């Protein structure tokens, strides 16, 4: 899912490392048999602590999942502008990549 902050307790460093090692093994096996992996870039989920690293950033919090709230993230013009900015940044990082 990619959006799990905690389950009963915060996820441990060991858990994160084990998931990272597993992902590397899976990707290696995929490339070994000729598969080109396509990985998700961003699920839209931001940890609550992100504001401590980016205090001037603007975030919108949705209500709980059952009463999913809709703010700018549901507006097509907003999403189009955000996607264009992300693609521009990605192309700046690697012109040869296929975005």
Closest CA relative to residue 88, chosen from 76, 99, 74: 99
User: How long, in residues, is the chain?
Assistant: 99
Q: What is the mean pLDDT of the chain?
A: 76
CA distance 70 to 92: 31
Is 8 inside a domain boundary?
Answer: no
pLDDT at 56: 87
Residue 12 has pLDDT above 50, yes or no: yes
Percent of the chain at pLDDT exceeding 70 = 64
Over residues 52-58, the mean pLDDT reads 83
Is 21 inside a domain boundary?
Answer: yes
pLDDT at 92: 85
Encode the chain in three state secondary structure. Answer: CCCCCEECEECCHHHHHHHHHHHHHHHHHHHHCCCCCCCCCCCCCCCCCHHHHCCCCCCCCCCCHHHCCCCHHHCHHHHHHHHHHHHHHHHHHCCCCCC
Q: Which range has the worst mean pLDDT, 7-16, 19-28, 47-56, 58-67?
A: 58-67
The parent domain of residue 25 ranges over 13-94
CA distance 88 to 81: 11
Is 29 inside a domain boundary?
Answer: yes
Is 32 inside a domain boundary?
Answer: yes
Q: Give tens-digit pLDDT for 65-86.
A: 555 555 555 666 777 888 888 8
Over residues 22-44, the mean pLDDT reads 86
């Amino acid at each position: 899912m990619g959006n799990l902050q905690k389950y009963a307790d915060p996820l441990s460093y060991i858990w994160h490392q084990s998931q990272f090692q597993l992902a590397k093994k899976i990707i290696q096996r995929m490339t070994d048999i000729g598969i080109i992996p396509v990985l998700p870039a961003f699920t839209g989920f931001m940890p609550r602590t992100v504001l401590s690293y980016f205090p001037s950033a603007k975030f919108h919090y949705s209500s709980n999942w059952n009463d999913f709230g809709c703010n700018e993230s549901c507006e097509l013009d907003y999403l189009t502008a955000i996607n264009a900015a992300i693609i521009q940044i990605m192309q700046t990082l690697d012109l040869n990549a296929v975005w």
